[in-house]
Amino acid sequence: MELNGNATLGRSQVFPLENYKKGARVWHRHPELVWIAGELEHEVTFATRIVRIRLEDDEIVEYTISSPNQLPFLRNPSILVGKDDLTSLSYLHEPAVLHNLQVRFIEREAIYTYCGIVLVAINPYAECPHLYGEEVIQAFYDLVEFKKCQSIIVSGESGAGKTVSAKFVMKYFASIAGHRDGSAGVEDRVLATNPIMEAIGNAKTIRNDNSSRFGKFIQINFDERFTISGAEMKTYLLEKSRLVFQAPQERNYHIFYQICAARDHQLLSDFSLGPPEAYWYTAQGGESKIPGVDDRADFLETVKALSLLGFDDVKQREVFRILKGILLLGNVDFRSQGDRSSISPMNDMEIEQLCDDYKIDEQELRLWLTVREIRAAGETVRKGLEPREAIRSRDALAKLLYAQLFSWFVDRINDALQEKGKKTLNRRSFIGVLDIYGFETFETNSFEQFCINYANEKLQQHFNQHVFKLEQEEYEREELSWVRIDFYDNQPTIDLIEGRPGLIDYLNEQCKVVNGSDSGWLNQMTTCTALKKNTNLQMPRIKSAKFIVKHFAADVTYTIDGFTEKNKDAVSKQLLELFSLTKFSLLREILGSAVVFEETLPGKMAVKKTVAGQFRDSLRDLMEVLCTTRPHYVRCIKPNDLKERFYFEPKRTIQQLRACGVLETLRISAEGFPTRWSYEEFSRRYRVLYPEGKALWRDKPRMFAEKSCLKCLEEGKYALGKSKIFFRTGQLAIMERIRLETLSASAVRIQSTWRGFVARRKYLLMRRSLLTIQAACRAFLAVRRLHYLQMHRAAITIQTAYRRYVCESRYRKLRCSIVALQAQYRAAKVRAYVEKLRYEKSAIVIQKYWRGYLQRRAGIQPFGRPEREPKIPSQIESRSVNHLQKLNSGLENKIIDLQMKLDVVTAERNRLSPLESQLEKMRVEIAALEAERSEWKIAARKVEELGMEVERLETECDVKEAQKGELETRIHELNCRLDQNKAESSSKINALMDELSTTSQNATTFESDLKRMRTALAAGWYHILKSRRRIIFFKFLLETERRSIVEHEMGLMREQLLQNANLLASPHFSRVGSMRSEQERPPLSLLSADGRSISLSGGSADFDEIALILRQQQMINDLRIRSEQYQRENERLRNVIDASSLIDSVEKRTSLRSFETHKLQELEAAYSRLKSELERLVAEKADGGLENMNVKLLIDRIMEDNDRHREESAELRAMLSSRFER
């Protein structure tokens, strides 16, 4: 929509540059939000041409200033945002108005806002608890108080809520001025008109589901007791074209869809109605249903309202029959038949039903729907209509029928609303409610928009004159000098439309001419000299069937197509005559007025008024009625096109504010003194601006206001009235800014004084408390230290006694074990020696007998018996062999006995030897485990001691933290005291030096604590490592002893086996075998313990002796293998024990390390904070001059000491880390 130069409010206002300082709150244009808030990045001067503005979304834009009146709009103070009256704003311009409405609507959900005498009502698209606006309530009380008729003018575009607002007005009057006894009266009938008029006059459009397609003025009459005595309704410009044409997604009037939805109702059951899709007049828009609307339920409500207004069932059924006939008429279609048209055979049923319902001649209807009769020069000629002309004639008839039915309804409703037997106050006590369409502009604007905008021009003129009159009355009442107010006068636009010559005048002329057309009307406008000079009428640069009218809201381009036809509203005379002869009484009644216009008088032609002429006359009557009343204006605003609940679109809203005259109202107010305060309110709020007056603001508020304004404002920017003080635009913002600056300075002064008092009191209280706490803490720490030393000494005594006991027990167990081992070893050694002696003795006996035998045998042969006769050699040989065998068998038996005894002894020894070794090992292991257990108990006690030491260190660290917090508190208090005044700097410096000395002591204490912690940790680790080293050393001794014992036993066994082998291999212990066996048995060899080879000849021992040696050798290998297995098992157990001890030590070291790391991090963080505070303090006090130099040097020295302490703590942490890694 293209707007004229008056669209933007406030551009002519120039404010002082002192308001445009850095940080000033301004408005900036935005493509979507229309206006967006921002702040100036720098001050504006006379030389400034480009201003940088930081918007509320943090975007920085540049704004070009070409002239003083192009400065950015200033924002109102926060106290004024959300005011219920827009004229009370200090800055009256477009962004301020838009923002105030948005805040009230979105944040406070307030749909009503005053704009002077105008009530702005924003459609919330939701149910609200507060239905009645203040304007409605005020209208009734003005009627009672001033005894003057009132009028409420409700306007706005489609979907803005005009109809709902008008219904709320009527509900309010019906509830407050109805019958006191609760009985049904005229107020109920007044409310009953709403569903009826909505059914026959409202329809669904693209913008609104319940759009009123007519204007109405309801006059509610009151009696002497100010109760409703009757009502009267007048309608304006019903949109008849909607009956025959609907745009996509739109509907016809609601009543048609209601009767189709309730076609099974008892009133409609005889009509054989179909669904809305079955009729052309209800199916064009493609929207037969409205979401959330029940047409059948609405029909029942309409029937109920008709019954309440006195329409009986017969009359209602006749009305619905007329409506059904209109639907049937719309289904009549035409086809071309030569130079004329004819009704399609498919519509014969519709024609028959229509004629049957309307009781008219079917043949006549068929004829005059397709034929037109022309009378000229006393002759009558019939001309066939083309299909397009026939459709136009059919639609004109349907529009006439519906318009007459609509007018009949209004007349009958007015008759029903008249209360018989009651008299009003001279018939002049009434309240009128005007519900009329607002300013409209579309892409294609036709005759309807022309009439609607013409009506809004008349209403806007009345509004401007009324506002101007009220402003002048206010100034006169307050005894102010004359204030000239210039307002936009739209009289030239009204003269262009209704004057002579004018647009309506030329349009009526074209309707009277036989061949009048839209193009002829446009030619008249373009050739008229008077219209050419009128600046409010413009023609397009490119010649087309359009013209432009400059309305008060915007420039509107009208398309001339259809203007003359809609203005004539002509119907075929023959069709009117046919319908006038109907036997349907209600149809004849409603067409009575239309037939009268077509009747001719003798010798004269009846002149029928055009639609524009009728509308002009009705507007003139309406203006006369409104001028006799006290008007109240309600401007309905549609906040969004999506019909969402409490959703605000700035673009749509600002267009309507410009179009409905709200901004013009504010502009008229801004020309004078828009801001008005009573003296009491002004004095109460701004008494801080003139403290010299003291109680003047309470005793003489007018004098106080005069002196305050004289002190703060320029002359001419305010005016003192009789009971109020008046301000020009923007002056209240200046007063508010000065007030805030004064309050801010006073608040700072009060805060500084109070903070000083509170800080001093808090410091003294904290000082006393800290001294008490320090004394208690020192006593507690001393007592705890004493207890610790006592516990430490007792623990050392207990540990000494326990260690002595453990060592003695260990020594006794070890001594008993060693004595037992020695006894066993000596016994085994004696037994082995005795066994050896027994074996040697046995061997000597055997050898003795054997040598004796050999000697006797050798001695007998030389001195034997005399020779006998020689025997047979074979006998001799067998005898000697037998003897040797006997001797050998005896020896063998002895050897076997000896060997068996040896085997028994060896087996017993072998059986006992592993058991003894296992027993010894178990004893050694038990002793070792006992020793380790003792060591672990010692280590556990050491860990507990270290834990106690850690707790003590934690406590000391907490104390240090508390001292650090005290130091921070003292530093803060010192800052506060230094900020109070410079005179107390010396005492504060002394306090600071005391605090710094305390800090130095704390640092020294921290250093000593750190050293003590390092010593304790080092001692703890030393004891743990020493214990582990002792455990490993004892394990090594036990393992060495165990290994020496095993090796010693193996050596003894090896020596014994070697002796047995030597014994068996000796030449005295071998037997003489046969030559065959000596030759068959090869020599054998055995290895001694020292590696020497011992040869065994085949003749010295047999295979049993060799097997014995081999078994003994195998036993030696088995013992060696078992010894190695025991060694590996011992090594595995030792590794397990070492691993478990290592894991425990690592866990302990890890926990200690994490604890120390955490404490060091906390100490470093505390040191960093203390350092930053000291640096800030030094920086603040360095500006104090030479008297603070000593303090600065002292603080530097303390900071150097703290840095050195920090380096030492870092070295300690590195040393601990290296210990942990090892």
Question: Which residue ranges make up the annotated binding site for ATP?
Answer: 156-163
Instruction: Give alpha helix (H) positions in 503-646.
Output: 503-512, 518-527, 529-533, 563-568, 573-580, 585-590, 592-598, 611-627
User: What is the rounded CA–CA span in Å between residue 657 and residue 155?
Assistant: 12
CA distances 738 to 52, 1108, 1124, Å, are 25, 128, 104
Written as one string, the DSSP assignment of 942-985 is HHHHHHHHHHHHHHHHHHHHHHHHHHHHHHHHHHHHHHH-GGGH
Angle at 1073 between CA 1067 and CA 1076, to 5 degrees: 130
* 34, β-bridge pairs: 30
Is the distance from CB of 233 to CB of 193 less than 8 angstroms? Answer: yes
User: DSSP letter at 481?
Assistant: P
Q: Which residues are within 8 A (CB) of 15 and not within 5 positions of it... i.e. 6 or more apart?
A: 71, 74, 730
Binding residues: 156-163
User: What is the rounded CA–CA span in Å between residue 209 and residue 228?
Assistant: 31
Beta strands in 197-339 (DSSP E): 202-203, 211-212, 215-222, 228-236, 334-337
* 1092, β-bridge pairs: none
* 372, β-bridge pairs: 383
Distance of CA 251 to the CA centre of its chain: 41
* 217, β-bridge pairs: 234, 434
Is the distance from CB of 1101 to CB of 1072 less than 8 angstroms? Answer: no
Packing angle of the helix pair 491-498, 447-477 (nearest 10 deg):
140
Q: Which residues are within 8 A (CB) of 334 and not within 5 positions of it... i.e. 6 or more apart?
A: 341, 342, 343, 344, 369, 370, 387, 390, 391, 394
φ, ψ (nearest 5 deg) of residue 408: -65, -40
User: What is the rounded CA–CA span in Å between residue 988 and residue 1187?
Assistant: 12
φ, ψ (nearest 5 deg) of residue 631: -80, 150
Cα torsion angle, 662, 666, 667, 669, sign: positive
Q: Which residues are within 8 A (CB) of 1059 and not within 5 positions of it... i.e. 6 or more apart?
A: 836
Is the distance from CB of 973 to CB of 995 less than 8 angstroms? Answer: no
The structure tokens listed for 143 are: 């009627």
Side by side, the strands of the sheet bearing 724-727 are 675-678, 724-727, 718-720
Q: Supply the Cα-derived Rg of the chain in whole angstroms.
A: 63
Written as one string, the DSSP assignment of 312-353 is -HHHHHHHHHHHHHHHHHHT--EEEETTEEEE-GGGHHHHHH
Distance of CA 1118 to the CA centre of its chain: 83
Is the distance from CB of 683 to CB of 698 less than 8 angstroms? Answer: yes
For the beta carbon of residue 1175, count every other beta carbon within 10 angstroms: 12
For the beta carbon of residue 95, count every other beta carbon within 10 angstroms: 28
Say whether 404 sits in a helix, a strand or coil. Answer: helix
Cβ contacts of 943-950, under 8 Å, gap ≥ 24: 943/1148, 945/795, 945/1020, 946/1016, 946/1020, 946/1152, 948/788, 949/1016, 949/1020, 950/1152, 950/1155
